[in-house]
């Protein structure tokens, strides 16, 4: 049996269901001891339930692995530090973090409330910062560690009704890049993954139109377990040369995303005025404008 993560200790947030659950179980099967973090909240972040995390722990232990449950909130600074502390207290070390916890408050932008915005940003973006920052001090001291953060094509490409989620997820991609640049000197790696997977997060996609129904049928073909191998690989020491990248996993397809770089330049020796920008610069650049596409329009073929 492969032991890609033998003797590693991995913390996975939002690990009670869906993608996080499959990552935890595969990591354990590859030799890792796992801290299974999950509040057991509803999709919108309300409520709590210890059952999902404990079920994953029991599944891992039933297969001969080792795991412990954690019920702290990623959105809380002290709680995030407690997750790291629990890993060290329980297993003696921490080698990897998977920032997977998330909620949804989907609503069209002009109807979005401050609470809709704050709740999603707090869990996704602030939560990723909190857990990463808590682990960073330990990783810096031991001069090793790997972080994998869940971004989304909702932010990388675009979506409707998810301005809060998209902003958080694109922020996570930038945060991952910053961590990779700043922590590289300590042999700490950071990468982001935009997962395609059928879960309760995607189950909220409207299906009241023919296009929505077709999209849902396509998504149902993409199991959450298909994301886990890429995550486990990135946590492995054998991926020590991979950092600061953005990947995606879609059924049996893996993608590497490009990252923003200049694609067109224009200049005038005498400088620009609003008039010359409108008459010369914008027309010259227009052929390189990024279309207002959404994720389903870019990934428009059936998953393989």
Each residue of 153-205: pLDDT tens digit? Answer: 999 999 999 999 999 999 999 999 999 999 999 999 999 999 998 755 555 55
Distance CA 271, CA 256 (A): 38
pLDDT of residue 48: 75
pLDDT of residue 210: 66
Number of domains in the chain: 1
pLDDT of residue 303: 92
Distance CA 193, CA 247 (A): 5
Please pick, among 71, 139, 165, 196, the residue that the annotation labels catalytic.
Answer: 165
Domain membership of residue 295 (yes or no) is: no
CATH number of the domain to which 140 belongs? 3.40.50.720
Domain membership of residue 277 (yes or no) is: no
Domain membership of residue 213 (yes or no) is: yes
Domain membership of residue 170 (yes or no) is: yes
Beta strands (DSSP E) in the chain are 9-12, 33-37, 66-70, 96-99, 145-150, 188-196, 246-250, 253-256
Catalytic, 71? Answer no
Domain membership of residue 270 (yes or no) is: no
pLDDT of residue 45: 66
pLDDT-based confidence at 15, cuts 50/70/90? very high
Indicate whether this model's pTM tops 0.95: no
Range of the domain at 123: 9-259
Distance CA 54, CA 69 (A): 6
Domain membership of residue 27 (yes or no) is: yes
Q: Over 70: is that where the pLDDT of 229 sits?
A: yes
pLDDT of residue 183: 98
pLDDT of residue 209: 63
Domain membership of residue 283 (yes or no) is: no
Least confident stretch, 2-11, 190-199, 236-245: 190-199
**In sequence order, which residues have a C-beta less than 8 Å from that of residue 145 and are 6 or more positions away?**
94, 95, 96, 97, 135, 136, 138, 139, 183, 186, 187, 188, 189
Strand partners, 124: none
Domain membership of residue 237 (yes or no) is: yes
């Amino acid at each position: 049996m492969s032991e890609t993560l033998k003797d590693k200790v991995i913390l996975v947030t939002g690990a009670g269901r869906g993608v996080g659950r499959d990552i935890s179980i595969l990591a354990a099967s590859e030799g890792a001891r796992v801290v299974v973090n999950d509040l057991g909240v509803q999709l919108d972040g309300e409520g709590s339930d210890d059952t999902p995390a404990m079920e994953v722990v029991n599944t891992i232990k039933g297969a001969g692995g080792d795991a412990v449950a954690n019920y702290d909130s990623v959105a809380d600074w002290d709680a995030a530090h407690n997750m790291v502390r629990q890993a060290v207290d329980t297993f003696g070390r921490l080698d990897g973090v998977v920032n997977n916890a998330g909620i949804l408050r989907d609503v069209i932008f002009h109807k979005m409330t401050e609470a809709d915005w704050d709740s999603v940003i707090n869990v996704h973006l602030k939560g990723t910062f909190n857990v990463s920052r808590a682990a960073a001090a330990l990783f810096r001291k031991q001069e090793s560690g790997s972080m994998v953060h869940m971004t989304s094509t909702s932010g990388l490409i675009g979506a409707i009704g998810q301005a809060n989620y998209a902003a958080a997820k694109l922020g996570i991609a930038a945060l991952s890049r910053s961590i990779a640049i700043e922590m590289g000197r300590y042999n700490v790696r950071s990468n982001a993954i935009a997962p395609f997977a059928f879960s309760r997060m995607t189950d909220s996609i409207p299906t009241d139109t023919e296009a929505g129904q077709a999209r849902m049928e396509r998504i149902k073909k993409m199991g959450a377990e298909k994301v886990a191998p890429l995550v486990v690989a990135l946590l492995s020491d054998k991926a020590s040369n991979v950092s600061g990248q953005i990947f995606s996993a879609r059924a049996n397809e893996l993608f590497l995303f490009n990252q923003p770089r200049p694609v067109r330049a224009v200049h005038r020796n005498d400088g620009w005025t609003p008039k010359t920008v409108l008459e010369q610069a914008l027309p010259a650049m227009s052929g390189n404008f990024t279309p207002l596409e959404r994720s389903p329009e870019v990934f428009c073929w059936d998953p393989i």
